[in-house]
Amino acid sequence: MHPVTLLAIVIELVAIGAQSVLYLNRLREHTRLWCLVLLVLLLIFNIANGLFPDETYPIPIHVQHIIVNGIGFAIVSYFPFYFYRAFGLKKLRFLAIYGVPLFIVLPYLAFFVFGYSSHGDLTFTHRYGYIIPTCYSFILLISTGKAIWYTYRENKNRNRYIEEVAAYFAIIPWAFFAPVVYFQWGQLIETLFTNAGFIAISALLLYRTLNVSRAEQKLLAELELVPINLEAIERNSRFFALSSREIEIVHLICQRLSYKEIADKLFISDRTVSKHVQNIFNKTLVNSRSQLVKKMNDYDDRNV
């Protein structure tokens, strides 16, 4: 096993551990769950790529090649589903659910599982087995980029956009993975191609989580200074035409609950809470939780 591959495995184990702890604290934060699945797939790929092929193993060489390539195909198959589910890019639904079986899974079965098992010609398998999946990977890249930009134009969520773009750039090397395998550029290049971007994303997510947690704690401390006026909250909620769910969330925000605590109390996801809060901000013409709490508790505030 190449030392760089071993280093990638260690880093991914640490990242998986950290992300798992964070996910257990926010079980309804599904974006982190999809990211965890991706990291686990990368970890399995690195382990298999570092150990196979090896003639000293009792496993036939052709089976070892099928296993390594199969894990690689599984990761590529997961990409559109990851963006579709983790980031809610609805425009990728067809590519994720129908395109992947036709243009990635089927060629793998045809060329690697059945073809390579029967004729044993690895060069032929690599030469032709990657053509359709590689073309489809470029289509996925283009479609994913368009879906990210379309979603940003609709929602204008800058933080979400940065996270999506970072994930997008991390998958770009996989579109060029076929030449790396075909020309046998070595395990070092394969490891760098497949891992560098996702390790960076994991670090970004952990950094953002810590910053968000610190900011949330600071905000909650500031909100403690604002007294709660239930009559004002009810009157302002009617004035700004908030829905029943939005009124519930406003009350909980005014009670100084965090987004996670609100999600747990209402049995919804953190992301759903964020969407409701953004709608509340738009209706009440505020930009932060502190402004919202002050405005909703101000009995005389009618500056719409």
When the pLDDT of each residue in the chain is averaged and rounded to a whole number, the result is 82
Residues (pLDDT < 50) of the chain are 301-304
Cα 92 to Cα 42, 144, 173, 177, 289: the distances in Å are 22, 7, 19, 22, 33
Q: What are phi and psi of 263, to 5 degrees?
A: -60, -45
The pLDDT assigned to 208 comes to 66
pLDDT at 86: 79
Report the pLDDT value the prediction gives residue 157, as an integer from 0 to 100. 67
pLDDT (0 to 100) of residue 101? 92
Per-residue model confidence (pLDDT) at position 212: 64
Q: Are 200 and 42 in contact (CB under 8 A)?
A: no
Residue 101 CB contacts under 8 Å (≥ 6 apart), including other chains: none
CA-wise closest residue to 181 among 99, 80, 65, 103: 65
The pLDDT value recorded for residue 250 is 92
- What would the pLDDT profile of 203-219 be if each residue is shown by its tens digit? 766 666 666 667 666 66
pLDDT of residue 219: 63
pLDDT of residue 107: 93
Q: How many CB atoms lie within 10 A of CB 122?
A: 16
pLDDT at 201: 66
Evaluate whether 134 touches 178 at the Cβ level (below 8 Å). Answer: yes
Prediction pTM value: 0.69
Instruction: Render pLDDT for 27-49 as a digit per residue (tens, 0 to 9).
Output: 666 777 888 888 898 889 889 88
Condensed to tens digits (0 to 9), the pLDDT of residues 76-86 reads: 888 888 888 87
Per-residue pLDDT, 60: 92
